[in-house]
């Protein structure tokens, strides 16, 4: 029993990070589920993290309020970001969100009130592993319920053929904006939780590579099922731990190795298993000739 508790303490951080990365993966999944690529979620996470930290540290706000702000503020910011570009081709959203992420990061680096590049430290530790996983569970549940519903079908229709969806009465811009806002809220929530778990936040923790990470989680896990991104997050959070053991033997720095492996895995998945790991059972089934005659 003692041994179990010891093991748990050691791996607590990893378990927490699987949860946080799961939330971040879901934040990218929400827009992917309607066929959009939003690449600014590190920016949303940063807004959530800083807002929550400032509220607990400077305003002595209750943690619940800080978390609420962490989710709500990015969602509100997503509106002026998304509205102009969601009416246009998807590429514009990708570009605008790339720009947005950078703006947030550079803005934070240049903002003296939050110590610029050094960031904030000594944030009270209010987020526990349990809380992270409870909130992740709630998010999962809600997104899962969304899937087979009228709105879930509308999102799926937008993903598969947006113009056809419009002719069926679906206001695609509104749905895409809603998903952008939900994703922003999830990313912000993850940011706020992380800030209160690791006691500190700094702008370089929200660089573009973070967004690529989130994308890898979501794509590798697969967006065909709601728990796919979580699977991807788990797999790719544990992977660096494994790599860290291996890299000295290879004589390679763990950081770049992780980056390389992430990139290779993302490439392999998008080329060969685009629906992600969750689609493995179905893919296997179809390959074994389960096609029924017409």
Partner 1 sequence: MSAPLLEVGALEMAFGGVRAVDGASFAVAAGQVHGLIGPNGAGKTTVINLVSGLLAPTAGAIALEGRPLHGLPPHRIAARGVARTFQSIRLFPDLSARDNVLVGQHLRRRPSLAARLLMLPASRAEERQASARADALLERVGLAGRIHQKARHLSYGEQRRVEIARALASEPHLLLLDEPTAGMNPVEVQEVAALIRQVAADGRSVLLVEHNVRLVMDVCDTITVLNFGRVIADGKPAAVAVDPAVITAYLGAPA
Partner 2 sequence: MLQQVINGVFLGSIYALFALGYTLVFGVLDILNLAHAAVFMLASFAALALVGHGVHILAAFPLAVLAAGLIGVLLERVAFRPLRARADSNISGLISSLAMATIFEALALLAWGPNVSRFPFGTIPDTQFRLGGAVISRLQLTIIGVAVALFLALSWLVTRTRLGREVRAVAESPRAARVLGVDVDRVIAWSFLISSALGGAAGVLYSLAFNAIQPDMGRGVELKGLAVIILGGMGSMPGAVVAGFALGLTEVFVVANLGASWRDAVSFAGLFLILLLRPRGLFGAAALREA
User: Which among 288, 285, 132, 146 is positioned nearest to 225, based on CA atoms?
Assistant: 146
| Between 145 and 244, CB nearer to partner 2 | 244
219 binds, among partner 2, partner 1, none (CB under 5 to 8 A by kind): partner 2
Under the binding rule (CB under 8 A), the answer on residue 111 touching partner 2 is: no
Under the binding rule (CB under 8 A), the answer on residue 288 touching partner 2 is: no
79, 177 contact by CB (below 8 A): yes
The site map against partner 2 for 27-56 (x = CB under 8 A) is: -----x--x-x-------------------
Binding-site member from 3, 5, 60, 89 for partner 2 (CB under 8 A): 89
User: Which among 137, 105, 115, 127 is positioned nearest to 207, based on CA atoms?
Assistant: 105
Under the binding rule (CB under 8 A), the answer on residue 273 touching partner 1 is: no
173-200: b or e for each residue (b if 16 or more CB lie within 10 Å)?
A: bebbbbbbbbbbbbbbbbbbbbbbbbee
Owner of token pair 């660089």: 207
Residues facing residue 47 across a β-bridge: none
Window of 50-58, 136-144, 188-196, 254-262 that interacts with partner 2 by CB under 8 A: 254-262
Q: Compute the least distance from the CB of residue 121 to partner 2, in Å.
A: 23
Binding-site member from 59, 76, 79, 91 for partner 2 (CB under 8 A): 91
292 binds, among partner 1, partner 2, none (CB under 5 to 8 A by kind): partner 1
| 131 CB-side CA count, 13 A | 14
Window of 79-87, 124-132, 138-146, 235-243 that interacts with partner 2 by CB under 8 A: 79-87
Give the integer Cα–Cα distance in Å for 74 and 46.
Answer: 9
Give the integer Cα–Cα distance in Å for 183 and 129.
Answer: 21
Under the binding rule (CB under 8 A), the answer on residue 255 touching partner 2 is: yes
Q: Compute the least distance from the CB of residue 148 to partner 2, in Å.
A: 22
Q: In this structure, what token pair is assigned to residue 291?
A: 């096609």
Residues in 206-245 at the binding interface with partner 2, rule: CB under 8 A:
208-209, 212, 215, 219
130-155: b or e for each residue (b if 16 or more CB lie within 10 Å)?
A: ebbbebbeebbeebeebeeeeebebb
Binding-site member from 49, 146, 181, 233 for partner 1 (CB under 8 A): 146
Distance of CA 237 to the CA centre of its chain: 13
E strand or H helix at 83, and its extent? Answer: helix 63-86
The binding site for partner 1 (CB under 8 A) comprises 142, 145-146, 148-151, 153-154, 156-157, 160-161, 163-172, 291-292, 294
The binding site for partner 2 (CB under 8 A) comprises 32, 35, 37, 84-85, 87-92, 94-96, 98-99, 102-103, 106, 110, 159-160, 162-163, 208-209, 212, 215, 219, 252-253, 255-257, 259-260, 262-264, 266-267, 270-271, 274
């Amino acid at each position: 029993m003692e041994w179990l508790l010891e093991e748990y303490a050691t791996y607590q951080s990893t378990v927490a990070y699987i949860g946080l990365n799961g939330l971040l993966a879901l934040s990218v999944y929400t827009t992917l589920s309607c066929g959009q690529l939003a690449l600014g979620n590190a920016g949303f996470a940063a807004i959530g993290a800083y807002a929550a930290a400032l509220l607990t540290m400077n305003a002595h706000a209750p943690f619940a309020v800080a978390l609420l702000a962490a989710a709500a503020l990015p969602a509100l910011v997503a509106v002026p970001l998304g509205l102009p570009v969601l009416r246009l081709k998807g590429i514009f959203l990708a570009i605008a969100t790339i720009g947005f992420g950078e703006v947030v990061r550079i803005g934070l680096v240049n903002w003296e009130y939050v110590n610029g590049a050094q960031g904030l430290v000594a944030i009270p530790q209010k987020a526990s592993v349990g809380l992270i996983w409870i909130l992740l569970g709630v998010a999962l549940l809600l997104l899962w319920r969304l899937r087979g519903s009228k709105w879930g079908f509308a999102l799926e229709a937008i993903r598969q053929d947006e113009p056809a969806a419009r002719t069926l009465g679906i206001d695609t811009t509104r749905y895409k904006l809603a998903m952008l806002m939900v994703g922003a809220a999830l990313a912000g929530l993850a940011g706020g939780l992380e800030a209160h778990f690791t006691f500190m936040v700094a702008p370089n923790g929200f660089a573009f590579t973070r967004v690529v990470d989130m994308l890898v989680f979501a794509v590798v896990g697969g967006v065909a099922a709601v728990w796919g991104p979580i699977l991807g997050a788990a797999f790719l959070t544990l992977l660096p731990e494994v790599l860290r053991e291996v890299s000295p033997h290879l004589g390679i720095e763990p950081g770049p190795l992780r980056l390389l492996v992430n990139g290779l895995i993302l490439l392999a998945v998008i080329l060969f298993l685009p629906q992600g790991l969750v689609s493995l059972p179905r893919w296997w089934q179809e390959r074994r000739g389960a096609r029924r005659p017409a």
